[in-house]
Structures are given as structure tokens and as C-alpha cells.
Amino acid sequence: MRGRTSAGSFRGVVNKALDAALPPAPYVYPSPQPMMPRATVLAILFVALLSASSQSQAPRYVIYLHAKIVEEEGVRRPTDPAFGVYEYDAILDSLRHAGFVLLSDQRPSGTDSDSFAIRVAQQVDSLLRLGVSPRAITVMGFSKGGWIAILASSRLHNPAISFVFMGACGPWAFERPDLHVRGRLLSLYETSDSLGVSCAPLFARRSPGSHIRELGLSLGLGHGTFFQPRSAWLGPAIAWAHGRDP
């Protein structure tokens, strides 16, 4: 029917907007890519909302926060001697193919976690001001990116926004008594990982109204479990971002 937009057409329009704002998608980049300016982010969001206005199913948004290794190496496909290649762009592609409107900045070396959490909270606030339902927003992060997601959850304090913390919890989170996460909170951790452990101590002091879930994975890959878009973590994360329990 004239004036309607199919889900496939909608994703095509959004991907064109993303392609215009982001560099091309090969997995090796010669130098770090700059973070998207605020105006570019808002333009992407506006195009997505404009496209969604003529369809019954509203888009869902994911903000993905990468691991510290991308900061340290300054490339989008860095290699850790113990855990292998971190497939940043392959992870982003997997999330896009799952139908999400995706935002993900490559952070520069030495990024302050608290300061970047403010930036993430501002991105979420921009979505909310554009009329996006908080239930359609997920902040997803791994390792340092997961820690930033934790800080953003505490700052936003919105019980309807979803968060996925992957290999993100440790003393840095447990020793912050001022930190009270809030939202739909999913923790994914690998049982063989000594770097990112269960978020149970953090969840014990969550703010009222939060919905929590935690899954321990046992792939035997340590922190490297989340270096690639493996179905063991990607499936639960996608389900959570779609508003379902994994």
C-alpha cells in the first residue's frame, strides 16, 4: 500500500544513513576513527524515526561499547596474545543484521570511563527527546565498555531502559558504594574469566524497579568469549534488546 514502509526497506534507509556517517565496513582500519559528532548522531536518529513513522513496528536502538583493547591498539581489529582477535566490526555487523539501529563510537586511548558514561547518557537522552520509547533502547558493553554501561545505568536511572553488561564486573564496580544501577539489567559472564566476574554484588544494591538476569557461560575461553560474535552471548543479548528474557 502506498505510504507504508516494509521492515526491510526501513533497515535499508537506516543503513544508508549509517554508511553516510561511518567509514566503510572492512575489518582493518589504517588509523583510529573519530567519534561521531553529536549532530551526526542526531541526524541518524532522525532518519530512523522518519522511516519508522509509516510502519507499525518501531525500531529498536543499541548503543554498543567496545573493550579497552580497541583504545589501546587504536585499530578496530586488535589482537590479544591470550584471547585472539577482537572482531569489533563483525560484532557490529551481527547486531545490525539482527535489525537494530546501531550506535557505536571508537573511543580514543585513555578515555575516562565516567566522562564517556555521560556521553552515553546524552545519546540516550537524545533518543528519548526524539520520542523513542525507553523500552526500545539498549546499552550494551563488554569489558571496559561494560563498565561504562554500568556507569550510564546508574546515571540514567531509568527502569525501562535495557542494559547488557558482558565481562564487566569486578572490584571497580563492587567498591563503589555510590553506584546503584537501574533498568532492565542483563549480566553475561564467562565462568573461566578472571577479569570479568558475576555482577551479583552490584545487583544486590540495585535501585528499586530494576529487572535483573544473569547468565554464566562456560565456553572455557576466558575474556576472549566476547571477542567474537559467538551465539552463546549474542543470542541472549539480542533477545534482551528485543525485550525478551533469554
CA distance 136 to 183: 12
pLDDT at 3: 38
pLDDT at 21: 38
pLDDT at 57: 75
At 223 the three-state DSSP class reads helix
pLDDT at 214: 98
pLDDT tens-digit map of 31-64: 344 555 555 555 555 555 554 444 457 899 999 9
62 neighbors 100 (Cβ within 8 angstroms): yes
pLDDT tens-digit map of 175-196: 998 899 999 999 999 999 999 9
Q: 88-97 and 7-21 are packed helices; what angle lies between their axes, rounded to 10 degrees?
A: 150
CA distance 186 to 210: 11
pLDDT at 23: 35
pLDDT at 14: 41
159 neighbors 137 (Cβ within 8 angstroms): no
Q: What share of the chain is helix, strand, coil (3-state, %, to 5)?
A: 40, 15, 40
- For the chain, domains (ranges, CATH) are 7-241 (3.40.50.1820)
C-alpha cell belonging to residue 11: 533497515
pLDDT at 4: 38
Pairs from 28-37 (Cβ < 8 Å, separation ≥ 24)? 28/75, 28/76, 28/77, 29/75, 29/76, 29/77, 31/74, 31/75, 32/74, 32/75, 32/106, 32/108, 32/109, 33/76, 33/106, 34/106, 35/105, 35/106, 35/107, 35/108, 36/103, 36/105
214 neighbors 198 (Cβ within 8 angstroms): yes
Residues (pLDDT < 50) of the chain are 1-33, 51-55
C-alpha cell belonging to residue 51: 522511516
60 neighbors 99 (Cβ within 8 angstroms): yes
DSSP code of 57?
Answer: S
- The model's pTM is 0.80
